[in-house]
Structure 1
Amino acid sequence: MKIFRKHYKLTAAVLLPLFLAACKKNNDNEPVATTKSTISVENVLNSQPLVESGTFQGTGSPALILPGQSVTIQFSAAKGEALTFATMYGWSNDLFFAPANPGIMPYDSNGNPIEGDVSSQIKLWDNGTRVNQAPGANVNHPGEAESKNITEVNGIDAQGNTYLAASQLVSANLKYNGNSVFTLTLKNISGGTKNETPLSPGVWAVSYIVGGNLQNPNPLYTAGKPTANGLSNIAETGDNALLSTYIKGITGIFTPLSPILVVIYNGIDNPIYKIGENDRGKGLKPLAQQGNADTLAAYLKTLPGVKQVYVLPAPSTRVLLPVIGGQQGGLVSTDFSAAKGDRLAIATMYGFSNDWFFASTDNGIDATQKGDISNTIQLFNDGTAVDQFPGAGITQFNLAGTPLTATRPIAVVPNPNPFTTLPDISKMIKVTIK
């Protein structure tokens, strides 16, 4: 009997701390069970390298741009991004006009918009797929085939035919419309010259810049390499359909996510934001504009009802990069404890925006819930900055800009929005609890 009593006391001594670790007391001194979970947040966006692209053409049938006629291209760009385009020298076998890669830079080195004549940046190129005849209305199409790399035509082609400078045949004028939006006007000025020619329907594109590097600095062609992706159809026949299809397929959304803010709370409303309210000035603005969650995290820790706060940066990169070239996007996770009645909410910046942020809707979720909770996340506009095309704005903080101040209530970002159409939320950010 004495042995049993000693054994019982020993067992109780061991089990009591374990019991207390799994429970805590409520106001009535009743033990409250807690559960341990792991929350994971992943950037699952299948990113694309081009932020914008499109086509242009004349007004006739066929839609050629004849001498004296002009077309316009409206586009947005951040500092370091460039506009490129391609259009056929119509009275040739396979020549085309395009800027040298990466294209026409719309800002100077100080980030000031460039306006005026940028014709000198247009070049004449040989597609390398047809032997050049003397340019003019009598060129036979398609002509004799060849297989060479793309080369610039500097006054004379491989067959000895001569040409004026591209800037004497096509003019380009850049106008700044404000808020990172530009208009490029291309005009056919070849009329009356020895190189008079119509211009074909064309394509244009702008590449994202990430960490100072363009995602695709050669979207339409690469000098010194074979033509590809439908450029031959433009250079040989003036048909822009195939190249247009290709560039549309690589145009879309690219954005990192900032370090993830996670908060566990009880007995209060979602402490991060409230839709319809203006930003409270407690740290959401730095998160939404700069991706800095530290100020908001520090504030949340002072609130009654807030139990745990985490800020989760991605290893090495800090931001959660999207899926690039098939490589998995950024992923972060943390363990947390929650009891019945606890709520959980998250927030993270849509990195290539002025002040958009992903966050839990309404009053967050039951913190003891398990599974994929991505459908409880929405994209919001903090209303504290002037919006620009996401990923192509000169005042976007993560593109080396300074946001312009605005004062509007927090609202859901519409989709489509005035700039673009976004994928479903679940195709951009995945949140799971296990």
Structure 2
Amino acid sequence: MKRTFLKITVAVAGIMTAFTLSSCNDSDNNMMDLSSQRTIIFENVITPKDFVESGNFQGTGAVPVILPGQSVSVKFSAGKTQALMFATMYGASKDWFFASQQPGIKLFETNGKAITGDVSSSVLLWDNGTKDNMTGQVESKPIAQVPNVNASQLMKLNLDYNEMTSEFTLTITNTSGGTANETPFSPGVWAVSNYNGSQLLNNAPFFTPNALSNPEITDIAQMGSIGKMTAKLSANTGIITGLSPALVVIYRGDKNPIYELGKMDNGMGLKEIAQFGNVSKLQSSLQSLPGIKGIYVAGNAPVPPGNKIMTNFKADPGDKIAYVTMFGFSNDWFYANEVSIDATVKGELSSKTALFDSGTGVDQYPGAGNRQALFGGTPQSESMVISKVGNQYPVPAVQNVIKVTVN
């Protein structure tokens, strides 16, 4: 049955809790065990982060505020269900700030079509509740909308969208000039929450309406200072991913039967793993190849952070092992062993594992691309050779995402 592979499920965790991994040191990796029965384990060890992208913005003048008539733009990536949150001070106030409702500005219709054009109706004006609006004296009230002020008349928001890259550009224009609420905007912050396949990891970024404020948003609302919020966002921003069920092959010969670096995808089923986490086509195709001694599948569901999958396999002296699993929050990436591995070796194989681009789908920001399987999309087709994933995106190191062990 076809699965939308990135839907987070607890089934894998439940199945695997009966197993315990034993630690192994460097010497274990060089020890040979001639018994034929082995177990290979794939663990998702990535540390979840609340936000996939975040940043800040400011005016371009000597004083970095955004004055009436001035504009500033923010570029970011997102997929369906994700939203953009931002905050900036209403400068001519004691503790007011502009921001949208939680979890942020809606970016896609329910059918997956990007929202573009004027989205000024998304902006609201909030009272931080930490200073009296008249005297400026300290107070302690919940964050609430400012009454009788139409924020969309003071700030214009416009969205543009690049469908190929799934990248938005938000232009913020100060339109308060000549109104009763003319004001500069302070430097601001923005963020896009990570999505795990079923929900946003943070659906109330920056602040909680009708609750007391926090130090980070208070600094913005009272002083237009973004330092604390920027530091907090930075510490909680990063690419995360799920893993797909893993295909494991025991074989004889010098050529990895799953992929060949620098060559085009051969149509045997690697594309289906790299784009959708579906191992069935490659599993079937490999059965007809010479030198294949065994084909195994670890897991039958997505592998979220903190979970693991495993499979038993048989191997004899002279056999080799190869494996592959999808980098789930991508368009067409996969993890696989980079070098030839003796199938009778025990120990951790993570150092022998690398992240590859199958060359079959146009890349978008991992975890924020609307054509990714994570968002129910299909990658834009391309025909490139299989290559190692470079540094275009801040992807965590392999050992910080996947741990592969043979017992």
Aligned residues: 374
1:154 aligns with 2:157: no
Residue 89 of structure 2 contacts residue 188 of structure 2 at CA under 8 Å; is this kept in 1? yes
TM-score, reference length from structure 1: 0.84
- The one of the two structures with greater contact order (alpha-carbon pairs below 8 A, sep at least 6) is 2
Which whole-Å deviations, capped at 9, do the CAs of 1:70-118 have from their partners, x for residues lacking one? 1001111101111110000011011000011111112212211221111
Q: 2:71 is matched with which residue?
A: 70
Give the AA of the match of 2:177: G
Distance in 1 separating the partners of 2:311 and 2:85: 44
Residue 34 of structure 2 contacts residue 344 of structure 2 at CA under 8 Å; is this kept in 1? no
Structure 1 residues 430 and 229: alpha-carbon distance in aligned structure 2, compared to 1, 3 A threshold: farther
Distance in 2 separating the partners of 1:216 and 1:117: 26
- Gaps spanning 5+ residues in structure 1: where? 1-31, 134-139, 156-163, 323-328
1:429 aligns with 2:402: yes
Q: 1:158 is matched with which residue?
A: none
Which whole-Å deviations, capped at 9, do the CAs of 1:131-181 have from their partners, x for residues lacking one? 112xxxxxx7xx2111111111131xxxxxxxx300011110111133211
Distance in 2 separating the partners of 1:394 and 1:206: 14
Q: 1:115 is matched with which residue?
A: 116
Q: 2:320 is matched with which residue?
A: 343
Residue 319 of structure 1 contacts residue 330 of structure 1 at CA under 8 Å; is this kept in 2? no
Residue 78 of structure 1 contacts residue 393 of structure 1 at CA under 8 Å; is this kept in 2? yes
Q: 1:169 is matched with which residue?
A: 154
Distance in 1 separating the partners of 2:346 and 2:198: 40
Q: 1:136 is matched with which residue?
A: none
- Structure 1 position 61, deviation (Å): 3.3
> Percent of counterpart pairs with the same letter?
49
1:321 aligns with 2:304: yes
- Structure exhibiting the larger radius of gyration computed from Cα positions: 1
- Structure 1 position 33, deviation (Å): 5.4
Residue 219 of structure 1 contacts residue 247 of structure 1 at CA under 8 Å; is this kept in 2? no
Give the AA of the match of 2:317: K
TM-score, reference length from structure 2: 0.89
- Structure 1 position 398, deviation (Å): 2.5
Distance in 1 separating the partners of 2:67 and 2:387: 47
Give the AA of the match of 2:315: A
Distance in 1 separating the partners of 2:123 and 2:62: 26
SS of structure 2 residue aligned to 1:123: strand
- Structure 1 position 268, deviation (Å): 4.3
1:374-413 alignment runs, 5 A limit = 374-413=350-389
Structure 1 residues 258 and 145: alpha-carbon distance in aligned structure 2, compared to 1, 3 A threshold: same
Which whole-Å deviations, capped at 9, do the CAs of 1:337-380 have from their partners, x for residues lacking one? 22211111110000011000001113x31111111110000000
Residue 51 of structure 1 contacts residue 251 of structure 1 at CA under 8 Å; is this kept in 2? yes
Which whole-Å deviations, capped at 9, do the CAs of 1:239-284 have from their partners, x for residues lacking one? 0010011111111012100001111111241100000110000010
- After superposing on structure 2, the runs of 4+ consecutive aligned residues of structure 1 that deviate more than 4 Å are none
Name the Cα RMSD after superposition.
Answer: 1.4
Residue 82 of structure 2 contacts residue 200 of structure 2 at CA under 8 Å; is this kept in 1? yes
Q: 1:201 is matched with which residue?
A: 187
1:131 aligns with 2:132: yes
Q: 1:294 is matched with which residue?
A: 280
Distance in 1 separating the partners of 2:140 and 2:374: 43
Residue 49 of structure 1 contacts residue 254 of structure 1 at CA under 8 Å; is this kept in 2? no
1:23-422 alignment runs, 5 A limit = 34-133=35-134, 143-155=136-148, 164-179=149-164, 180-228=166-214, 230-313=216-299, 318-322=301-305, 329-362=306-339, 364-414=340-390, 416-417=391-392, 420-422=393-395
- Structure 1 position 302, deviation (Å): 2.0
